[in-house]
Amino acid sequence: MQKARIGLMWKQFFIYLLIIVLTFSFLVFFVSREINKYYINNLKSNLKNQAMLVERMTTDLMVPENAKEIDALTKEMGKKIGTRITIIRKDGLILGDSEKDPTKMENHATRPEVIQALRNEIGSKMRYSTTVKKEMLYIAIPITENGEILGVVRTSSFVPEIQKSLGAINKKIIYIALILMIIALLFSILSSRVFTNPIKEIAFAAEKIKNGDFTTRIFIKRKDELGELSDAINEMARELQKLFNNLSLQKEELQVILSSMVEGLVVINEEEKIVLSNKNFSTIADTSNETQIQNKRYWEVLQNDDINKLVKSVSRTGKTQTCETQFGEKIYLVNGAPTSKTARRKIIIVLHDITELKRIEKVKADFVTNITHELKTPLTSIKGFVETLKENTNTENQHFLEIIERNTDRLTDIVDDLLLLSNLEDKKQKLKIEKINLREMADNILKIFEIKFKEKKISFELDASDNISYINADPFWLEQLFINLIDNAIKYTDKGSVKIKMFSEDKDIQIEIQDSGIGIPKKHLSRIFERFYVVDKSRSHKLGGTGLGLSIVKHIIQLHNGKISVESKVGKGSKFIITLPKG
Ligand code: ADP
């Protein structure tokens, strides 16, 4: 930057210097040439005037007898006007000369200026004089009388003297030019300073702003473009300062939020390098300092297959994904979300510690399993005794015994359903996958419900397309799924029909169980798969519902990596849509 600033001033100076030197050189050259030309022309015109004057005075004397008189006149006049004058006769004979003795001078008929004058022209020549042995400027005019040329008057001046005068003039011109050049240069330096100084100041301020000093301001009070530029830079610095302060504040806030988060958080870029992380992440990753892990690839600090799969899945799909994973004794729910929809996105990974939640869940599940197991035996014996008592009791108490029996049955149903659920939730228990003929299975299950359909006068229909032959699933659980859904369809339908539709879609099979029953109000739709959730308690109890059927269905579907959804309209019926992979 320093270099560039010096460069600008010198560059401007050298350009000025070049322009000034060139301009003045041309000026000196042309001015001196013009002045020289003017001087010579002036001299010539003077010589001509003098020659004309002499011609007037000598016309009458132009006879050989007057030669002495002519010569004396010439010498006198030559002395007076300081010019060499020569009077030449028509044949070239010298009649008078202001400098020399004419008798000793050779014939001048062949001198070029004389030849020119004898042609009635004004002769002019600059040449070496053999008489005075010097370079001379000659002007010759004819002496005429009544149109007849009698001779020639020649005036001349020494060239060295002309040159001396011209040299003096040229010297003066150069001298003046030099002074003007120095003044111009001084002005150019001054003017370049006037421009470069503010530019230097602006460049210096810009450099400081670039280095992050947003408090820098330029104090140039000018009304030109430089003034506007400095105002704009000042405004930019002010805005940058504001922005920077805001960003710093936001960064601080973010740091506080991140460090106070109980979750572990890490942000990775498209190269899988860590760009941001919090203290809890460092604790999970077992590294001492969050700054030390910056710029490292996440898998260098956190080796975990589940998270690797999650990251790959998020980058491939661009969608939020979750998984559960374990680090030592601790269990984490990991959430991976892309920061944007573009290809070069970052991924935010949040690790929630769910160890305690899982422990409580397990205690609850164990408790339910234990209690249901414990209840099973007494319930069976109560039911047995009630049956025995019913046979041996009078009609008055029969009614109470029936109530006891009905409630025992209900309790048994709940216990059975809870046992089913705890079996489903038991991770150690594996599915027994078999190749199942779906149509056959659905047919057999419908047969079980045939009596119920008849009792309620509801028609049923099985529509299985030809392309669904087999599915790989656990037959026991798949049967439970059908039983629960068909049982519900019959339970909550008073008239009309129950339809089962099955068809193949790519790698999945879709099963739809549709009834024309009472339907489910919209606000309950999202909750009906929860345990013990019933829309209408009294109706469910009356129909022998436990509120666990759909919860079991959901678990079965999850274990088979499928999906379930429901569409329903109150008074029109419900449709449960299941998607199961063919496996
Ligand atoms: P339940 O044993 O009470 O039927 P479920 O878990 O099977 O319990 O169902 C939960 C609730 O969802 C039911 O109480 C009922 O209100 C509603 N429901 C389930 N299936 C249907 C259906 N086919 N038609 C209308 N309501 C239904």
pLDDT tens across 403-455, in order?
999 999 999 999 999 999 888 887 777 889 999 999 999 999 999 999 999 99
Residue 26 tokens, joined: 């041309």
Whether ligand 1 lies within 6 angstroms of the CB of 492 is answered as yes
3-state secondary structure of 351: strand
Architecture of the structural domain at 358-425? Orthogonal Bundle (1.10)
Q: What is the pLDDT of residue 197?
A: 81
Strand partners, 348: 267, 337
- pLDDT tens, residue by residue, 285-295: 887 766 678 88
Residue 460's pLDDT band (cuts 50, 70, 90): very high
Q: Is the CB of 264 under 6 A from ligand 1?
A: no
Selection from 162, 142, 115 nearest residue 54 by Cα: 142
Is the pLDDT higher at 147 or at 475? 475
Question: Which CATH number applies to 434-581: 3.10.20.30, 2.60.40.10, 3.30.1330.40, 3.30.565.10?
Answer: 3.30.565.10
Assess whether pLDDT exceeds 70 at residue 6.
no
Name residues whose C-beta falls within 8 Å of residue 123's C-beta, 6 or more positions apart in sequence.
112, 113, 114, 115, 116, 117, 138, 139, 140, 141, 152, 154
Percent of the chain with pLDDT over 70: 97
DSSP label at 427? Answer: T
410 CA distance to ligand 1 middle (Å): 16
- Answer whether 136's CB lies under 8 Å from 158's CB: yes
Kindly report the average pLDDT of the chain as a whole number: 89
Q: What is the pTM of this model?
A: 0.54
Query: CB of 481 closer than 6 A to ligand 1?
Result: no
Strand order of the β-sheet with 347-353 is 274-277, 264-268, 347-353, 330-338, 321-327
Is 103 exposed, middle or buried (CB count within 10 Å of its CB: 0-12, 13-18, 19+)? exposed
**What is the Å distance from ligand 1's center to 545 Cα?**
8
Q: Which of ligand 1's atoms lies nearest the C-alpha of 484?
A: 7
Confidence bin at 8 (pLDDT 50/70/90): low
Is a pLDDT exceeding 80 seen at residue 159? no
Burial (0-12, 13-18, 19+ Cβ within 10 Å), 261 = middle
CATH architecture type of domain 2-165:
2-Layer Sandwich (3.30)
Q: Is 573 in the pocket of ligand 1 (CB under 6 A)?
A: no
Q: Whose CA is nearest to atom 20 of ligand 1?
A: 488
Instruction: Answer whether 51's CB lies under 8 Å from 146's CB.
Output: no
Most informative mutation of 488, 492, 513, 524 for ligand 1 (most atoms within 8 A of CB): 488
Per-residue H/E/C for 13-30: HHHHHHHHHHHHHHHHHH
For 37-86, the pLDDT digits (tens) are 888 888 889 999 999 988 888 887 777 778 888 888 899 988 988 888 99
Is residue 32 within 6 Å of ligand 1 at its C-beta? no
What are the φ/ψ torsions at residue 375 (nearest 5 degrees)? -75, -30
What's the one-letter identity of residue 357? L
SS (H, E, C) 121-170: CCEEEEEEECCCCEEEEEEEEEEEECCEEEEEEEEEEEHHHHHHHHHHHH
pLDDT (tens digit per residue) in 83-112:
889 999 888 889 899 888 888 888 988 999
- The mean per-residue pLDDT over the stretch 13-42 comes to 85
The listed range with the strongest mean pLDDT (34-38, 126-130, 460-464) is 460-464
Q: Looking at per-residue confidence, does 160 or 566 come out higher?
A: 566
Q: Is the pLDDT of residue 5 over 60?
A: no
Instruction: Check residue 290 and give its pLDDT.
Output: 65
Q: Is the CB of 545 under 6 A from ligand 1?
A: yes
Q: What is the pLDDT of residue 131?
A: 74
CB of 480 shorter than 6 A to ligand 1: no
For residue 379, name the pLDDT band (cuts at 50, 70, 90).
very high
Are 488 and 549 in contact, with CB atoms under 8 Å apart? yes
pLDDT band at 3, cuts 50/70/90? very low
Q: Which whole number is the average pLDDT over 230-238?
A: 90
Atom of ligand 1 nearest to the CA of 550: 6
Rounded to the nearest angstrom, the distance between the alpha carbon of 530 and the centre of ligand 1 is 11
The residue nearest atom 4 of ligand 1, judged by CA position, is: 545
In this structure, the residue with its CA closest to atom 16 of ligand 1 is 535
Question: Where exactly are the structural domains of the chain?
Answer: 2-165, 212-260, 266-351, 358-425, 434-581
> Is the per-residue pLDDT at 521 higher than 80?
yes
Class of 266-351 per CATH?
A: alpha beta
Indicate the pLDDT class of residue 498, thresholds 50, 70 and 90.
very high
Q: Is 50 exceeded by the pLDDT of residue 2?
A: no
- Name the residue at shortest CA distance from atom 19 of ligand 1: 488
Residue nearest to atom 7 of ligand 1 (CA): 549
Distance 547 CA to ligand 1 centre (A): 7
Lowest mean pLDDT among 321-335, 388-402, 440-454: 388-402
Give the number of the atom of ligand 1 that is nearest the alpha carbon of residue 540.
3
| Ligand 1 close to Cβ of residue 534 (< 6 A) | yes
In this prediction, residue 550 carries a pLDDT of 96
Identity of the residue numbered 530: E
Residue labelled with tokens 């079980």: 448
Report the range of poorest mean pLDDT among 5-19, 339-353, 503-517.
5-19
Ligand 1 and 488: CB distance under 6 A: yes
Residue 343 has pLDDT above 80, yes or no: no
Element (H, E) at 281: helix 279-285
> Which two tokens mark 401?
């015994």
> Stretch 218-247: mean pLDDT, rounded?
88
Q: Is 514 in the pocket of ligand 1 (CB under 6 A)?
A: no
Fold agreement (2-165, 266-351): yes
